[in-house]
Amino acid sequence: MTSTSLQQIINPNRLLYEGSNLPEVVFEFSAEIIPKIISEITLAQKFVRIAMFQIHNHEVFNALSQKAKQGIKIEILTLPYDSIDDDVRSEVEQDFEELRKQGVILYFNQWNVGNPERTTTATNRWYSFHGKFIVTDKSAIVLSANLIKNQELDVAVIFRNDEQKIKEFNEQYDRLLNLFINNDEGFDGSIHRKILEIQGGQDCGVFDLPKGADGRHKEHWIQHYPTDLCPSDIVAEEKLYLTPFDCRARDFIYSLIEDGEYVYLSTESFTDEDFSAFLSNIATNKKIPIKVLTEPKSMDFTDRINSMLRDLLSRDIDVRTTGQDLHAKLLVTDKILVVSSINLNRINLGFKKSEKYWRENTETLVGIKNPELIQYAKAEYDRIFESSTSVKEKLIEKLQNMAKDILSGTYGLRSTEETKKLFARFVLKEEIDLRKLFVKLGSLAKELLDKNNERTVNKQHLVSALILYYLTERKQDFDQLKEKLDGIGEGSDLAVILAELEENGLIEKENDYYKINLTALSP
């Protein structure tokens, strides 16, 4: 789809007018995604095809049942019943079986990728399909939402009456069936054969069952994919991608962020340290606005998330959390809008196991380059972002217990809630400022090396960077600088270093005081 093919970009809250056959694209960022999806299902006249990680919502089942009774062909690709939470599994299984009786075709993707031992949220299996898209004869829909009972803050793009997009989504649906469902040499799907063909008929341990996995999954387990199946360096197009088979999600998203003049991200879960470091480096080196909406919680990586969030905040990345259950997976830059199923976690983004292998869930994403839709999505994001709470407040809440332990447990003192919060706020500021100090010193060291066309930081470079750092605070004389460096720069000749900095034009001497030459340093 090209931007010129969009005849109309509409407000998703507007009523759909009857009899319209104009192609239109709808962007929705709200907690009302599922009612919109039900409306699209209701409009179908020939077929409905759903590829969805989880379906629990009874109203969705009712809508599908009504269409099945009308003779509409319905296909659903999802995960096996044992992936469903225990508290709703029996009810959901019954809903699915009622649909089956009405002629609905059910496909259960049983393939696992990776190792479920890495998380407490999966036991004995890790079903790898996490994508979410729907196609009918009237619309093609990509979304971050699962069709579950809870109303979550989610995102969707709906292409209505767009024959090209409907054809494209149908082709990707068929591709999923061919990869994971249709019988191929005795296996479900062609994925087993494709891997063997790449590896010259040798499985090389790729199909080994990991420790602790249930033996019944033996015929549906892949440790990781040969890299030849997972292309990298893909130029972004306006299409539905199945990752990692059309692109590696991590590499693709990295390239889009690197190309942006601003970056707006939304993710339910953010635990990947490599992505956090990448984002921090972009913020530092490009100095572009970066905003992140996320939920600062994880069953597995609480300490990791706390550290990552402090790093992001120290790079002036604005991280906030909403008062609603956030599930939206969204990227907006000045050049592209991406709606996907991809959380910022290691298995969702994918990662290299070795030079030969890549591990990643099967995810879905759509990129759109239409400037009007990008601006609309940006405005919707800003609307939600401005009403959200800085993640600093969540981190302060965690630190309040530490403040209580110090005041009460160590010193036997009672304290008010206001006092504990003030204590925690001060500690968090100091923690973030300390990380900012590391970044600043690194920046100054790089500045020194760039001027001399060097790449290795030595002791003299670091002492020079410290001098520049102290002088950015205020001008100081020789004795003051020597006192600050006491215990740090032993063995360094301060007079020689100062002379070299002055010779390079980085500092100036005014009477007995040294001061920074701001014009000689990068802003």
Give dist(CA 477, CA 474) in Å, integer. Answer: 10
Give the torsion sign (CA, 412, 418, 419, 420): positive
Between the alpha carbon of residue 123 and those of residues 65, 71, 195, 367, the distances in Å are 32, 39, 26, 34
pLDDT at 4 (0 to 100): 31
pLDDT at 490 (0 to 100): 75
Q: Which two tokens stand for residue 152?
A: 């979550």
What mean pLDDT comes out for the span 314-322?
96
All domains of the chain, ordered by start, with CATH? 3-193 (3.30.870.10), 221-392 (3.30.870.10), 425-520 (1.10.10)
Between the alpha carbon of residue 251 and those of residues 49, 243, 256, 362, 372, the distances in Å are 29, 11, 9, 15, 26
pLDDT of residue 520 exceeding 80: no
What mean pLDDT comes out for the span 77-101?
96
Using one digit for the tens of pLDDT, what is the confidence trace for 404-441?
899 999 999 999 999 999 999 999 999 999 999 999 99
pLDDT at 188 (0 to 100): 97
403 vs 117, higher pLDDT: 403
Q: Give the contacts of 106 (CB within 8 A, at least 6 positions apart).
A: 76, 78, 96, 99, 100
What mean pLDDT comes out for the span 23-50?
96
401: which DSSP letter?
H
Using one digit for the tens of pLDDT, what is the confidence trace for 462-476?
999 999 999 998 999
Using one digit for the tens of pLDDT, what is the confidence trace for 218-254?
999 999 999 999 999 899 999 999 999 999 999 999 9
Q: Are 6 and 337 in contact (CB under 8 A)?
A: no
Using one digit for the tens of pLDDT, what is the confidence trace for 186-230?
999 999 999 999 999 999 999 999 887 888 999 999 999 999 999
pLDDT at 115 (0 to 100): 81
Average pLDDT, the chain: 91
pLDDT of residue 20 exceeding 80: no
pLDDT at 18 (0 to 100): 35
Q: Are 173 and 37 in contact (CB under 8 A)?
A: no
What mean pLDDT comes out for the span 112-140?
82
pLDDT at 213 (0 to 100): 84
296-300, 417-421, 479-483: least confidently modelled range: 296-300
pLDDT at 15 (0 to 100): 33
Q: What b/e readout covers 114-129, taking b as 16+ CB neighbours within 10 angstroms?
A: bbbeebeebeebbbbb
Q: Which two tokens stand for residue 103?
A: 């002629």
Using one digit for the tens of pLDDT, what is the confidence trace for 382-405?
999 999 999 999 999 889 988 989
pLDDT of residue 99 exceeding 60: yes
pLDDT at 522 (0 to 100): 65
Between the alpha carbon of residue 103 and those of residues 60, 66, 67, the distances in Å are 16, 12, 11
Q: Are 6 and 23 in contact (CB under 8 A)?
A: yes
Nearest alpha carbon to residue 243 among 122, 349, 383, 87: 349
What mean pLDDT comes out for the span 157-177?
97
pLDDT of residue 298 exceeding 90: no
